[in-house]
Amino acid sequence: MTSFVVDGGRSLQGHIKPAGNKNAALPMVAAALLTDEPVRLKNVPDIRDVHTLTELLGALGVSAEWTGEGEVTIHAKDLRSAAIDPALTASIRASILLAGPMLARSSELKLPPPGGDVIGRRRLDTHFDALRVLGAEVEVGDEFVLRGKLHGAEIFLDEPSVTATENVIMAATLAEGTTVVRNAAAEPHVRDLCNMLVGMGARISGIGGNVIEIEGVDSLSGTTAEVGPDYIEVGSFIGLAAVTRSELTIGDVEPNDLTSMRIMFERLGVTCELQGRTLRVPADQSLEIRMDLGQQIPKIDDGPWPQFPADLVAIALVVATQCRGTILIHEKMFESRMFFSDKLTAMGARIVLCDPHRAVVVGPAPLTGSVVESPDIRAGMAILIAALGAHGRSEIHNIGQIERGYERIDERLRALGAEIQRVE
């Protein structure tokens, strides 16, 4: 098993650029199944989840090749409905994104249950309920069997699920008639997918909002599309700069995607300077938690876009351990995501886990190196940040979880001056 060995307590410095958005790249790869013409995607992050999804495409007769740095070309000319390796789908949540485009192109799909991060219950009901409204028949057993000719419909999603929204949009592009999706997710990666589909000839209105209308077309064409910068990486690097007391500049950001995270980081005493598409995090941060009116204890909580992203709650938690004051961290969406806090406690953090969704953090607390394990992508990155800010040496095991979402993270951090080594 590969691990990271980290010698922490060092100040970092330099410029880092976020990779392409993982959560945009995966549905965009899946959307390439909607046409029999080549699709070229740029700024694709070279991460494990992308490789797993392209491997799944190969089982469906689809050509998916890396044709340059950050560039993947997909050609689904010979798309077929075939058996999919359950071990592959069990390793990636995004395998569920094959449902919409496969139904639209071939009217049938047999899909083993998807896997992914173990962060709590992750419902698939929203996907299947919406696809049923579009005309699909869904059989649930050891594998999911979906079949049927799709037609436009009025759909209200029972939760603003990102992947369910993406599945419905992809399916509706080739359905007969008009589909209206209400309570749709509006995250930047949904926007990127929609813009790609429009470039392929889809007719979509309401992009970026919670009501999206799709007028079905007979066919879609190939296209060249670019994956946007990963705002979750940007938030991770803000947290890295704060915990290590470093000055970092983060280039090629999308300013409109950073509003809610900047507000929440300011609540922790972390300010950023935005200059065009470059974000500077100064080294001389106050790291003092800003109290609510009446000196009440403040909180950081997540919610659907444009609220604070759930994927950054773990990062906010580790930053809070280094801030003066007390704050409540409330993760509303997943009931297992906060359990990694015991690893930070073992490093010296002062955290009271109130229940599966809430933790009270009292800081600052000096962190010391420890032997820890990465439980999922975001908690793994939070632990890595803690190790870089801690005194002494840490060993982080199960780093494959981190590398599912962060491209060449050890190399990029070493370029900033981090002491991090990959060991077998």
Active-site entry in 117, 192, 230, 302 = 117
Q: Which residue pairs from 291-295 have beta carbons closer than 8 angstroms and sit at least 24 positions apart in sequence?
A: 291/325
| Bond from prior residue into 356 cis (ω within 30 degrees of 0) | no
Q: Spell out a b/e string for 57-67, using b for 16 or more CB atoms within 10 Å of the CB, else e.
A: beebebebeee
Task: Give me 211's structure tokens.
Answer: 């009501």
**How far apart, in whole angstroms, are the C-alpha atoms of residue 424 and residue 418?**
19
Phi, psi (degrees; rounded to nearest 5) at 277: -105, 20
Q: CA 290, 293, 298, 299: dihedral to nearest 10 degrees?
A: -120
Task: Give me 387's structure tokens.
Answer: 């190790």
182 Rama sector, left if φ>0, alpha if ψ -120 to 50, beta otherwise: beta
Strand order in the sheet with 278-281: 13-16, 247-250, 278-281, 273-275
Residues contacting 87, CB < 8 A, separation 6+: none
Q: What's the per-residue H, E or C state across 88-144?
A: HHCCCHHHHHHHHHHHHHHCEEEECCCCCCCCCCCCCHHHHHHHHHCCCEEEECCCE
**How far apart, in whole angstroms, are the C-alpha atoms of residue 395 and residue 414?**
16
Give catalytic status of residue 230 as yes or no: no
CB atoms within 10 A of CB 2: 11
* Residue written as token pair 């009271």: 352
**How far apart, in whole angstroms, are the C-alpha atoms of residue 150 and residue 178?**
11
* Residue written as token pair 């700024």: 43
Name the DSSP class of 137. Answer: E
* Residue written as token pair 């359990």: 339
Residues contacting 256, CB < 8 A, separation 6+: none
Residues annotated as catalytic (active site), given as ranges: 117
